[in-house]
Amino acid sequence: MSLQKTLLVAIVLGAGFLGGLVVSGRLSLTSVSEAVPEWQARPAPPPSGATAPANLPDFSAVAERGVRASVNISSTQQVPVHPFFQQFYGADAVQPQSSLGSGVLVSADGYILTNSHVVQDRRADVRVTLSDDRELDADVVGIDELTDLAVLKIKVTGAAPLPWGDSSKLRLAEWVLAVGNPFQFNETVTAGIVSAVNRHAPQLDWYNDFIQTDAAINPGNSGGPLINTRGELVGINTMIYSQTGGYQGIGFAIPSNLAKGIMDQLIASGEIVRGSIGYMRLKAVNGRASNGTAVQGVQILNMYRNEPAFRSGLQLWDVIVSFNGTPIKDEGQLMRLMVDSKVGSVAKVEVFREGQRRTFEVPVAKMAAPRRRT
């Protein structure tokens, strides 16, 4: 074989070998611009000896991170027994009432976020079990029944908290994981999507705008974390909507942005200061008055005489149509505007009365106690 033919064969064989490396993935012709964190969801590799039908996400690293940060909470409080049962049945004056739920570590020094209905009471005896089976006493830092949030503190070293995520950036159909202890099955992880954001409805608590998800949430999940695919805390699982008492694909979580603000205030002062112009029973209205004027707002069905709203001139059957310039659509919206008002300020409340609109200046007092709708 001549020298020219020999060189030609060598060049062809070398090019074929390099092409084989590129196809098999052993040689990259592009540079890697950004590494993916180990806890971020990756496409799952195909099973051995089979071809995967699609690039399905692999949540295993995210789930492990969520489980390490999740805790099991047991709360016991002493509940007074009715005198009738004490006298005729010899019952004790108080009896223990227990509650089980979940929580999530949010700081390396042992702060835990959970639901207030899991803790029950500031005087409750609370025990926390970590993912490594350590069981510790917990101090109740603060409870906010209005948002159904509570903060606990344990003495711990080497905690692995979840980083905070921005719940305002959640998108419909984004993957999320729920971690908790449903029915006392510890460290349970379920996956789903974000079904809705900023969800509020008459059948839900009036203050929160919830994240709705179809990740399975059951009794015992309360207080546990809702996690995005970057391993960040985006919500606190708190309730389900169900006709059976179990999972039906409609669960709700408190957004992390709201939860963090409440937690910071509870740690700083032990309480949440909210505004009030007085307790009122309200009903949404949307129609026309007898003179044909369109009216949308909430009608006052009941109020107390010794509170700011009545003393400032509001009356029964008034329809509140705006609060500090914001048009009112339903009771929940008005209540959120009122409790978020600064104590000591003056609110401008516009009402529709006897065919006319009138504006009243109402002092904002400190909310005495939360009144959650049932």
Nearest to 165 by CA among 106, 239, 217, 123: 106
Calpha distance 214→222 (Å, rounded): 15
Task: Tell me the one-letter amino acid at 322.
Answer: S
Catalytic site positions: 117, 148, 222
Where residue 77 falls among pLDDT bands split at 50, 70, 90?
confident
Q: Higher-confidence residue: 351 or 41?
A: 351
Q: Record the pTM.
A: 0.78
Region 313-327 average pLDDT? 97
Mean pLDDT for the chain? 84
CA 177 to chain centre: 13
Calpha distance 252→235 (Å, rounded): 9
Pairing relationship of beta strands 251-255 and 346-353 according to DSSP bridges: unpaired
Taken in order of first residue, the domains within the chain and their CATH numbers are: 64-153 (2.40.10.10), 167-269 (2.40.10.10), 275-366 (2.30.42.10)
Q: Give pLDDT, residue 9.
A: 42
User: Residue 74: helix, strand or coil by DSSP?
Assistant: strand
Please enumerate in sequence order all residues whose Cβ is within 8 A of that of 88, keeping only pairs 6 or more positions apart, or say none. none
Q: Give pLDDT, residue 19.
A: 40
Structural element, H or E, at residue 11: helix 3-24
Region 32-57 average pLDDT? 54
Calpha distance 81→41 (Å, rounded): 51
